[in-house]
């Protein structure tokens, strides 16, 4: 069994600020760092650090070559990453004194993926392999349909959420992973009743395992049973990539043979470690720290 992550690769430029900038405000930053990111790349890094063989496919410009090198340092196979004559994806991130963040995205190469490139990538995979997707690349509908026709199991994280998600063939998704905002969007309800949200999503997508992450209030899983896992109390330094770490470690745990409950526990532990550190990929813990 192989794992393919067809996902975003971003250059992250992070500014440390006392609070998230508001309209009309100019704010001095106490620090700035440039690093590797993108939901896809972060999730691949988490899978690689968790000890899973993962292949990453995506598109970058020459400015993003260091992204590939960093992924490779975590054990990720990057032979399926392609280059084009344009900018890589970019993320401008604000992180405040409480560890909360705000992000502006430029799609760059993430939005320049061609259907023929998808065909070329997917010919390397077969029935029973996993495909990991997020909403930061283009041609998602084509990728989902093609992978499903092959017989791949698809994990989809519809982030960032927008109305176009609802038009995708979500009935072909094996595992849906959402946070509170994405969950409300998929459920079609505004509520802080998390059991109500995840139940509504499950009713709409009965063939999918549903995971709902709600930050400091933990996470929920629903398939044949409803499971809740509390968050671990830690000092939050930076929440960037926390959800991606959770997803990578949840899937890695399932691949290692753990059940849903134990997989939630491992994913929770991994994301708790990640938020106690600065950065995205570099903050993700190693397999030895979690298992």
Domain of 82, CATH number, reads 3.40.1190.20
| pLDDT at residue 246 tops 90 | yes
Handedness of CA 65, 240, 3, 178 (dihedral sign): negative
Query: How large is the average pLDDT for residues 210-235?
Result: 96
Query: How large is the average pLDDT for residues 76-92?
Result: 96
Contact between 203 and 182 under an 8 Å Cβ cutoff? The reply is: no
Question: Lowest-confidence range among 19-23, 139-143, 264-268?
Answer: 19-23
Residue with tokens 């054990």: 75
Report pLDDT for 35: 87
Report pLDDT for 91: 87
Task: Say how far apart CA 246 and CA 267 lie, in whole Å.
Answer: 5
User: Which residue range is the domain that position 249 belongs to?
Assistant: 3-9+38-87+109-290
Q: How many Cβ atoms from other residues are within 10 Å of residue 99's Cβ? A: 16
The reply to whether 102 falls in a domain is no
Burial label for 81, CB within 10 Å (0-12, 13-18, 19+), is buried
**Residue 191 per-residue DSSP state:** -
Q: Return the percentage of the chain with pLDDT > 90, whole number.
A: 90
Q: Which residues on neighbouring strands pair with residue 132, listed in sequence order?
A: 5, 155
Burial label for 245, CB within 10 Å (0-12, 13-18, 19+), is buried
Query: How large is the average pLDDT for residues 1-5?
Result: 97
| pLDDT at residue 99 tops 90 | no
The reply to whether 219 falls in a domain is yes
**Confidence label for 105 from pLDDT (cuts 50, 70 and 90):** confident
**Confidence label for 125 from pLDDT (cuts 50, 70 and 90):** very high
Task: Say how far apart CA 45 and CA 24 lie, in whole Å.
Answer: 37
Torsion of CA 12, 119, 79, 177, to 10 degrees: 50
Report pLDDT for 170: 97
Residue 8 backbone dihedrals phi, psi, to 5 degrees: -70, 150
Contact between 249 and 286 under an 8 Å Cβ cutoff? The reply is: no
Q: Taking all residues of the chain, what is their mean pLDDT, rounded to a whole number?
A: 95
| pLDDT at residue 40 tops 90 | yes
* Residue 218 tokens, joined: 């933990």
The reply to whether 15 falls in a domain is no
For residues 152 and 240, the model is more confident at 152
The residue ranges of DSSP E strands in the chain, in sequence order, are 3-6, 10-16, 31-37, 54-60, 77-83, 89-95, 101-106, 130-134, 153-157, 175-179, 209-213, 219-222, 226-229
Residue with tokens 């929440």: 239
Contact between 70 and 269 under an 8 Å Cβ cutoff? The reply is: no
Report pLDDT for 279: 80
Number of folded domains in the chain? 1
The reply to whether 100 falls in a domain is no
Task: Say how far apart CA 114 and CA 132 lie, in whole Å.
Answer: 18
| pLDDT at residue 239 tops 90 | no
Checking phi first, is residue 283 left (phi over 0); if not, alpha (psi -120 to 50) or beta? alpha
Query: How large is the average pLDDT for residues 178-198?
Result: 95
The reply to whether 27 falls in a domain is no
**Confidence label for 214 from pLDDT (cuts 50, 70 and 90):** very high
For residues 50 and 278, the model is more confident at 50
Report pLDDT for 100: 86
**Confidence label for 245 from pLDDT (cuts 50, 70 and 90):** very high
The reply to whether 239 falls in a domain is yes
The residue among 136, 137, 73 whose CA lies nearest residue 284 is 73
The reply to whether 211 falls in a domain is yes
Contact between 6 and 137 under an 8 Å Cβ cutoff? The reply is: yes
The residue among 15, 67, 63 whose CA lies nearest residue 38 is 67
Report pLDDT for 146: 98
**Confidence label for 221 from pLDDT (cuts 50, 70 and 90):** very high
Report pLDDT for 103: 86
Residue with tokens 């890589």: 88
Report pLDDT for 10: 94
The reply to whether 57 falls in a domain is yes
**Confidence label for 155 from pLDDT (cuts 50, 70 and 90):** very high
Task: Say how far apart CA 22 and CA 267 lie, in whole Å.
Answer: 33
| pLDDT at residue 130 tops 90 | yes
- Per DSSP, the three-state class of 278 is coil
Separation in Å, CA 164 to CA 14, 109, 248 = 28, 20, 24
Report pLDDT for 264: 97
């Amino acid at each position: 069994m192989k794992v393919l992550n067809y996902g975003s690769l971003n250059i992250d430029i992070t500014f440390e600020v006392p609070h998230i900038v508001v309209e009309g405000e100019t704010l001095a930053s106490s620090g700035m760092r440039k690093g590797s990111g993108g939901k896809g790349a972060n999730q691949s890094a988490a899978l690689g650090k968790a000890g899973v063989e993962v292949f990453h496919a995506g598109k970058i410009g020459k400015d993003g070559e260091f992204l590939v090198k960093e992924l490779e340092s975590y054990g990720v196979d990057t032979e399926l990453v392609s280059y084009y004559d344009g900018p890589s994806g970019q993320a401008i991130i604000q992180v405040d004194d409480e560890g909360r963040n705000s992000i502006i995205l430029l799609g760059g190469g993430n939005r320049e993926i061609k259907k023929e490139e998808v065909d070329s990538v997917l010919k390397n995979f077969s029935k029973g392999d996993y495909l990991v997707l997020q909403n930061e690349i283009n041609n998602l509908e084509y990728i989902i349909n093609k992978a499903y026709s092959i017989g791949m199991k698809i994990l989809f994280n519809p982030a960032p959420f927008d109305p176009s998600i609802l038009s995708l063939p979500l009935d072909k998704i094996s595992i849906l992973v959402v946070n509170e905002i994405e969950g409300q969007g998929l459920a079609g309800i505004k509520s802080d009743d998390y059991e109500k949200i995840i139940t509504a999503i499950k009713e709409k997508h009965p063939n999918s395992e549903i995971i709902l992450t709600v930050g400091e209030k933990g996470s929920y899983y629903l398939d044949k049973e409803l499971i809740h896992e509390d968050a671990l109390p830690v000092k939050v330094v930076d929440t960037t990539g926390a959800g991606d770490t959770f997803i990578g470690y949840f899937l890695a745990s399932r691949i290692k043979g753990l059940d849903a409950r134990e997989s939630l526990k491992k994913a929770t532990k991994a994301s708790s470690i990640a938020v106690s550190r600065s950065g995205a990929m570099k903050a993700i813990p190693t397999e030895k720290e979690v298992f």
